[in-house]
Amino acid sequence: MPFNLDEKYVLEAEEQLEAKLPSEYKKAMVSNNGGDIDINDEIWEQYPIFDKSDRKRLSRTCNHIITETDSCKDFGNFGENLLAIASNGCGDQLVFVKEGKKYLPAVHIWSHETGKLTQVSNSFNAVMCI
């Protein structure tokens, strides 16, 4: 279940990632930190941004974007410049690609079997409308 997020936790995540998140994504997560995305009749569960404001939110966000990205690296073909933001439950991930000190706004599907990236939208807002 999605819930709002204090912007300070977005800034903490960016500090840990050493890169800026796309602005549309940040705004969306402040409004609804988590939830599902439907892309071409496939449901993707968004990873939240870690929120330690109280025990309930701490528990709800323990599978946050940084933890899940670190888990994806165990596949062996998950690029160091990728950030996992959602999963289809079968291993594939929705990701942002890092370039320099920022994550680009385009959203890609990363295949856990091949490591291949397929762009699905130019921005996070666009993926919410697919």
pLDDT at 90 exceeding the cut of 60: yes
Residue-wise DSSP of 69-92: HHHHGGGS---TTEEEEEE-SSS-
CATH 3.20.20.140 fits 7-127, yes or no: no
pLDDT reported for residue 95: 98
Distance, in Å, from the CA atom of 24 to the CA atom of 96, rounded to the nearest integer, reads 12
Instruction: State pTM to two decimals.
Output: 0.94
Tens of pLDDT along 22-45? 999 999 999 999 999 999 889 999
Tens of pLDDT along 61-79? 889 999 999 999 998 899 9
pLDDT at 88 exceeding the cut of 60: yes
Distance, in Å, from the CA atom of 42 to the CA atom of 72, rounded to the nearest integer, reads 20
pLDDT at 120 exceeding the cut of 90: yes
